[in-house]
Amino acid sequence: MAGVAMPTLSLSGCEKPMPVIGMGTMSYPPVDIETTKAAILEAMRAGYRHFDTAFAYGSEKPLGEAIAEALRVGLIQSRDELFITTKLWSSFADPAQVVPACRMSLQNLQLEYVDMYLIHQPVRLTEMISRTPVAAEIIRPLDVKGVWEGMEECKNLGLTKGIGVSNFSCKKMEELLSIAKIPPALNQVEMNPVWQQKQLREFCKARDIAKAKGKTTAQVALRWAYEQGVSIVTKSFNKQRMRENLQIFDWALSTDDLEKINQLLQRKGVTLASILGPHDLILELDAEV
């Protein structure tokens, strides 16, 4: 990171500050365990200390193996140096299954606790799935109160330092906040201009923002998000891009740059319907965003 310290965010109800840039570990199409593990170790060498995984990504085990190896070879001195986020998959989004699912993720990760445990999406699936889209008959509304009580139990048991959600609309957040004893620490979502990464890249090239700054278009997008006061999860297994994605803290976008980016039309890149299928409940959830 060229000597620039990684900023952190303090989160409500979470016992550890979160580095503002994390490495995402999802790959599509999926890659083998060794490839994922090697990429995570390379990210640690580059300076990443925040890693985002999920049961659904299939990357908990390689992340756990990478952490164990990093400790073994001295790449990190303590597990406490890392901020690890994982997620409750929708097939386990049932009040009775939340704590067992968290314990299973911890077993995959070879950890005693995670730093953040998120509800992956605001829907329940009644079966385990191996592919998407899914059949309409296995989709159910999320029992927000019951599942969140399970998330709170995970925190009370010390299985996670913080709890939150992912892909929740304002409406779903209001429902959750009305019943939560422990408020969610964060809501992990797609955020514009990252919603339209392709459009942003084309725009930056056309307006020469990236060229004028001597930065890549990805760095411009990441700096924009950072200046909005949010944390960022990036995903690249490419060594050079891993490092480039961290090099956003010693420069800033101008007022003119920000105005140009704000002129972009907004369009969500990934919807629940694009993953689970255009079923009535899923379309209703997408319409709330």
The catalytic residue positions are 57
Spatial separation of the C-alpha atoms in residues 200 and 206, rounded to whole Å: 10
Q: Is 279 annotated as a binding residue?
A: no
Radius of gyration of the chain (CA): 19
Torsion, Cα of 159, 230, 143, 282 (10° steps): -130
* DSSP assignment string, 238-288: -HHHHHHHH--SS----HHHHHHHHTSPP--S--HHHHH-S-HHHHHHHHH
Copy the structure tokens of residue 187.
Answer: 């809501």
Angle between helices 217-227 and 197-207 (to 10 degrees): 110
Tokens of 121: 């999406």
- Per the CB < 8 A criterion, the answer to whether 177 and 183 are in contact is yes
- DSSP 3-state of 211: helix
Binding positions for substrate: 120
